[in-house]
Structure 1
Amino acid sequence: MSIKYILCGLPVFILLAFAQISTTEADYTDLNKNGRMDPYEDATRPTEERVTDLLGQMNLEEKAGMLFINGTGVSLSGDPTSKEGITGPAAMMPSALEHLTERRMNHFNIWSVPADPAVFAAWYNRVQTAARETRLGIPVTIASDPRNHFSENIFSMEATGFTQFCETLGFAALGEADFMKQAAEVIRGEYVAVGIREALHPQVDLATEPRWPRINGAFGEDAELTARLVVAYLQGMQGDSLSAKSVACMTKHFPGGGPQKNGLDPHFEFQEGQIYPGDNFDYHLIPFRAAIEAGTAAMMPYYGVPTDQTEENVAMAYNKAIITTLLREEMGYDGVVCTDWGLVSDTRMGPVVWPARAWGVEDLSEVDRVQRIIEAGCDQFGGENRPELVVQLVEEGKLSEERIDESVRRLLRVKFALGLFDDPFVDEAAIAGVFADTASLRLGQLSQQASMTLLKNEDGALPLAEGSLKVYVENMDSAVVAGYATVVATPEEADFAIIRLNTPWVPVETDNPFAKGFHHGDLDFKGAEKERILELERTVPTIVSLYLDRPAVIPEIAGAASALLCNYGASDRSVCEVVFGRVAPRGKLPFELPSSMEAVEAQLTDVPHDSENALYGYGEGLTY
């Protein structure tokens, strides 16, 4: 007999109940393979109910695994068990599947990726398929550092296949919240398309110490501008609240990593702590308050030691006064707190050992470091894969399982809010359309171009007349420039020279190869290089295109230039588009350019806008 005839005579309330069962249970995935729909598998139930149900089914090893996130790479074949084509640190790391099955980890930071986003998407779907085969079917969360910037700095991942915007300093130069939100929406769309659901950004540290190497990833030195832009950024990435279309953001680096003594970065043991000679600690909290108000999903404290700001001079993630008292209690933040990478375990880099960033508690054992970080109020360990240490602490009675549950609950809320339990997979067929979107590509190029900051334009040298001039170029692709003017071989033949320069930096003397790539040190051109540039400027009217990842000290070079046009990550074509007047620059300096290194050294590390007799002040910028 047909089921429709059986149902005809049933009361309405039974029919409704049957309809609910037939639509809900038919669509659910039996993640724990028990033959029935548990509350955590039911998409119609409230998130907190689903979290509580799943938490009650997890064993200690599964809970511990969730507290760790570490790096991995995407193979050229898209096979999660393969390391084909994976380069850099990811090549030395276990695969995502090894972490998933052996350590119960389900958060991964993606480093090396293939040029084709379709391979990334295929790899991601295979990882999620493997995750569904685990005991409880908990989905994987894929995270990434910024991948959408045109950058020559170590802190931005290569924009392989992704739309290339200027660096965040460029968005600060534009100062346009709507533009920032629009760019963030493009980034979100590309991330979601390949399976990246957590952004290890935005970075809202303030550039109050000009020598600090991480300025290029921030929004400049002004707290109010940074706060306004981070709200737009979070709205573009997360939306009004987390959903299946969102990328959860991890705002960093609490409580602001900018005021490093002598600009020395606390990734390394030669750091000298964060200092506040201007008694300006609270100023650096302004962007974080804005991020909390805008609903940031996670927060990352920095490595630095807040010197003499709390009872103990220990690094932020070890510091209960910073994480629990300040962030959680005073600022009311109850989201995920994830440490920066590598606070527990030393890293061997060939013959060199890079010590864990356990500043102030270097003498603690690894297991004691884990205990101290959790007791400080953190939920997750970045760049680590040591869940056995959490298990050990609970089994020895040094940490309660209830305390571990608090952190797991926060992490599960994000996974559920992102819809990962209901449909973690991406549409591989849609990848080509997302990454070939001409509107996104144009927006990326426009960001590089419009954000440029014109600081000098002697006698209206810019824009140059397209097609009628002979130009000499340095550090540019002559074939690109030839589309705008005749490129000649020597300065003497030229009507103008166009030269691209980078803000100077000086590698720290260290055996650590990673540290040598950080843009530390003096900000001025020196010796023969400086004289060579000045000689060129004396020979021919010179357009200087200067990449600012930190505030350069260039009084003589700027004085001799016909035009000074600063950029924050731009292609040669984008530079030409502005130099030859196809696009007008409208950027304003997001920080001061000091007049000398003596002025830099005299600045207060924690105070903005305090460079004496600045060559160019905060907010300066011309246009045409």
Structure 2
Amino acid sequence: MTTARHRFRGPAAAPYEDPSLPVAERVEDLLGRMTLEEKAGLMFQTIAMMGPDGALLDDPEDPATSGMGPTVRQMVDDLNMTHFNLLGGAAPAQIAAWHNRIQEIALGTRLGIPITLSTDPRHHFTDNPGTAAMATGFSQFPETCGLAAVGDEKLVREFADLARREYLAVGIRLALHPQIDLATEPRWSRINGTFGEDGELTGRMVAAYIRGFQGDELGTESVATMTKHFPGGGPQKDGEDPHFPNGREQVYPGDNFEYHLAPFRKALEAGTSQMMPYYGMPVDTDMEPVGFGFNKGVVTGLLREELGFDGIVCTDWGLICDAPIMGEVHVARAWGVEHLGESERVQKVIEAGCDQFGGEDVPELVVGLVRAGKVAEERIDESVRRLLREKFVLGLFDEPFVDVDATAALVGTPEGLEAGRIAQSRSITLLKNAETPAGPVLPLAEGTRVYVEGVAADVADGYGTVVATPEEADVAIVRLRTPYDERPGFFQSFFHSGTLAFGDAELARILDLCAKVPTVVDIYLERPAVIPEIADGSAALVANYGAADGPLLDVLFGRRAPEGKLPFQLPRSMADVERQRSDVPSDGQDAVFEFGHGLSY
């Protein structure tokens, strides 16, 4: 059986290894022992991949590591890095085993500084290598938009606490979330990771979320949260995402900057340990027109000085160097400072007030700046203190390993899976439920003859009688997804942007089905879809934010009642979307459904 092993080495250990000493004293002792190169390494966090079955991808000549840059061992041993963002999925026990292997490497270095392992969300349905990993072995809940649709702070805290326990079991100690941008630009591709468009609702949700992950204060049983994207992504010009050059501009035509900042005030009150500025470059404002990670007025002036945040500020991924992503070379997101060289970009980020570079592995640039007298080592020490402090507070120096054999009893438990299933059902939003002579269309009676599209027939067969054609059915059940424009490039294809309206051919097909048989339409609202014709033609209309077939059918057949309320307005047309001010919530005219709409039974 793999058991947790203690880092503390006994009476002969250095003071920083002694858990009986105050954290501040341990930090200063370790800081005083570090070389400049070791300090610089601490300021970088990048993606790490694991091999099959939790193996290390440890050979730079291995074809599996081609194009990935240095291996984890090289980054630890040669670059002094100790923060990694796990990319990709695996069974929880495999993640735990891999985590222990990289901890062994780190603890074998001169100072034995343990690894902090981070991740994007892993408890939902989204599978986008740039933003989230679909739940694999973990409990599965609706996206955070779905949690917002339920609007229950107790549910959010319970979800976050469950996710915390599952992260702890596999060694993940830093959540690269919550994402609390406000979904005021309906076309933006990252809406499904938000709590919707409403600032007050998002503020309540994020406070519960952070306390579920961190507790009332950060400690040895916490998972630290990196709240993003300060000071509020969401109002992106034309709804394009600043992962890509065509989406670099962030706009405030409604002069609504403070509205987007408000949820971050709540995150600070809840004690978030870290903050991530967004890629976006504000234009036509009094702010410097550079990406927020480079923006001293925003990071130091607003976040540090005005709001009093003394935690870790980590940039979003890939601000400094052009880099290959999934076989494609993507330019650095150095929006507004594209003309600067890599070293100058690093200097500007440090001067802005950031502590760590996400998605980069070039600590030699920090070393070079200090050696050249362009950045004072005392400024580097400020960031290193914050980074070390969190490792000590989380208890990583004292308990760096996890029990691999215990993961099965701690992750993806029957209780956790059932909690996720119930939350999926609760988040279903009933938008329309037509009246018939026999009463409302929903809930359906058990055994109803149903024709299904987008629903697994074997699952539906446990609720109704599945038939092969609409003509044989009493009711059709159809699952749809919010439309989007196809974008070039494999990586960009994961970011669904552009149109929110169905094309003519697909819309005609759906409406033809609605004309043949009473049709219950379910639509996955990863963004606010334009569906006026479907709303008119359907017999019943529901929305989900990440729900498997079973939890949806539980609602449609009355085994559970829908509780969801729309976390954003659903516009009537793309023309209306294009007229809206990107930073203003519910700015559409004559919406099909307003924010907060939701029926029940």
Do the structures match in fold with TM over 0.5? yes
Equivalent residue number for residue 106 of structure 1: 82
Aligned-residue offset at 1:305: 0.6
Aligned-residue offset at 1:90: 9.7
User: How many angstroms apart in 2 are the aligned matches of 1:314 and 1:586?
Assistant: 42
Whichever residue aligns with residue 552 of structure 2, its letter is V
1:174/1:586 contact within 8 Å kept: yes
Aligned-residue offset at 1:151: 2.9
User: How many angstroms apart in 2 are the aligned matches of 1:318 and 1:242?
Assistant: 28
2:234/2:583 contact within 8 Å kept: yes
Matches within 5 A, 1:501-516: 501-508=480-487, 510=488, 512-516=489-493
Change (3 A) 1:235 1:284: same
Whichever residue aligns with residue 517 of structure 1, its letter is F
Percent identity over the alignment is: 56
User: How many angstroms apart in 1 are the aligned matches of 2:379 and 2:55?
Assistant: 37
User: How many angstroms apart in 2 are the aligned matches of 1:223 and 1:186?
Assistant: 25
Equivalent residue number for residue 457 of structure 2: 478
User: How many angstroms apart in 2 are the aligned matches of 1:91 and 1:166?
Assistant: 34
Whichever residue aligns with residue 245 of structure 1, its letter is E
Q: 1:122 aligns with which of 94, 97, 101?
A: 97
Change (3 A) 1:466 1:489: same
Equivalent residue number for residue 71 of structure 2: 95
Whichever residue aligns with residue 463 of structure 1, its letter is P
User: How many angstroms apart in 1 are the aligned matches of 2:306 and 2:535?
Assistant: 46
Q: 1:493 aligns with which of 461, 472, 477?
A: 472
Aligned-residue offset at 1:82: 4.6
Equivalent residue number for residue 175 of structure 2: 199
Matches within 5 A, 1:228-377: 228-349=204-325, 352-377=328-353
User: How many angstroms apart in 1 are the aligned matches of 2:434 and 2:526?
Assistant: 25
Count of matched residue positions in the alignment of Structure 1 and Structure 2: 591
Whichever residue aligns with residue 74 of structure 1, its letter is M
Equivalent residue number for residue 145 of structure 2: 169
Q: Secondary structure at the match of 1:77?
A: helix
Matches within 5 A, 1:380-391: 380-391=356-367
User: How many angstroms apart in 2 are the aligned matches of 1:457 and 1:152?
Assistant: 31
Change (3 A) 1:163 1:156: same
Whichever residue aligns with residue 500 of structure 1, its letter is R
Q: Secondary structure at the match of 1:92?
A: coil
Q: 2:443 aligns with which of 442, 450, 463?
A: 463
Q: Which deviations, in whole Å up to 9, do the C-alpha atoms of 1:103-126 show, x marking residues without a partner?
A: 100000000232x21111111112
Q: 1:546 aligns with which of 509, 512, 523?
A: 523
Q: Secondary structure at the match of 2:219?
A: coil
Change (3 A) 1:28 1:601: closer
Bigger mean CA offset, 310-319 vs 410-419: 310-319
Equivalent residue number for residue 593 of structure 2: 616
Q: Secondary structure at the match of 2:78?
A: helix
Aligned-residue offset at 1:591: 0.3
Q: Secondary structure at the match of 2:479?
A: strand
Q: Secondary structure at the match of 2:207?
A: helix
Aligned-residue offset at 1:39: 2.0
Q: Which deviations, in whole Å up to 9, do the C-alpha atoms of 1:312-345 show, x marking residues without a partner?
A: 2111011111111011111111110000000001
Greater relative contact order, per chain length (Cα 8 Å cut-off, separation 6+): 2
Change (3 A) 1:318 1:574: same
Change (3 A) 1:307 1:472: same
Q: Flag structure 1 segments of 5+ consecutive residues without an equivalent.
A: 1-26
Q: 2:30 aligns with which of 41, 54, 74?
A: 54
Change (3 A) 1:350 1:481: closer
Q: Flag structure 2 segments of 5+ consecutive residues without an equivalent.
A: 1-5
Q: Secondary structure at the match of 2:299?
A: helix
Equivalent residue number for residue 433 of structure 1: 409
Whose Rg is larger?
A: 1
Equivalent residue number for residue 526 of structure 1: 503
Aligned-residue offset at 1:602: 1.1
User: How many angstroms apart in 2 are the aligned matches of 1:99 and 1:487?
Assistant: 55
1:72/1:94 contact within 8 Å kept: no
User: How many angstroms apart in 2 are the aligned matches of 1:162 and 1:189?
Assistant: 11
Equivalent residue number for residue 593 of structure 1: 570
Q: Which deviations, in whole Å up to 9, do the C-alpha atoms of 1:401-425 show, x marking residues without a partner?
A: 1100000001111100100011111
User: How many angstroms apart in 2 are the aligned matches of 1:576 and 1:55?
Assistant: 57
Q: Which deviations, in whole Å up to 9, do the C-alpha atoms of 1:416-472 show, x marking residues without a partner?
A: 0100011111112211111252221111001111101000000110110012x2111
1:87/1:112 contact within 8 Å kept: no
User: How many angstroms apart in 1 are the aligned matches of 2:552 and 2:63?
Assistant: 31
User: How many angstroms apart in 1 are the aligned matches of 2:57 and 2:30?
Assistant: 28
Bigger mean CA offset, 228-237 vs 152-161: 152-161
User: How many angstroms apart in 1 are the aligned matches of 2:71 and 2:212?
Assistant: 31
Equivalent residue number for residue 106 of structure 2: 131
Equivalent residue number for residue 8 of structure 1: none
User: How many angstroms apart in 2 are the aligned matches of 1:82 and 1:448?
Assistant: 39
Change (3 A) 1:30 1:394: farther
1:208/1:258 contact within 8 Å kept: yes
Q: Secondary structure at the match of 2:355?
A: coil
User: How many angstroms apart in 2 are the aligned matches of 1:137 and 1:545?
Assistant: 53
Equivalent residue number for residue 23 of structure 1: none
User: How many angstroms apart in 2 are the aligned matches of 1:490 and 1:147?
Assistant: 37
2:346/2:365 contact within 8 Å kept: yes
Q: Which deviations, in whole Å up to 9, do the C-alpha atoms of 1:469-528 show, x marking residues without a partner?
A: 2111111111111111111111111100000000111123x4x32112211001011211
Aligned-residue offset at 1:88: 10
1:260/1:274 contact within 8 Å kept: yes
Aligned-residue offset at 1:153: 5.6
User: How many angstroms apart in 1 are the aligned matches of 2:65 and 2:164?
Assistant: 26
User: How many angstroms apart in 2 are the aligned matches of 1:445 and 1:570?
Assistant: 8
Equivalent residue number for residue 5 of structure 1: none
- 2:17 corresponds to 1:41: yes
Q: 1:150 aligns with which of 125, 130, 135?
A: 125
Aligned-residue offset at 1:272: 4.9
Q: Secondary structure at the match of 2:250?
A: coil
Change (3 A) 1:287 1:413: same
User: How many angstroms apart in 2 are the aligned matches of 1:543 and 1:91?
Assistant: 47
2:326/2:490 contact within 8 Å kept: no
User: How many angstroms apart in 1 are the aligned matches of 2:23 and 2:13?
Assistant: 15
User: How many angstroms apart in 2 are the aligned matches of 1:475 and 1:384?
Assistant: 40
Give the RMSD, CA atoms, in angstroms: 1.9
TM-score scaled to structure 1, two decimals?
0.92
Q: 1:444 aligns with which of 420, 437, 440?
A: 420
2:185/2:581 contact within 8 Å kept: yes
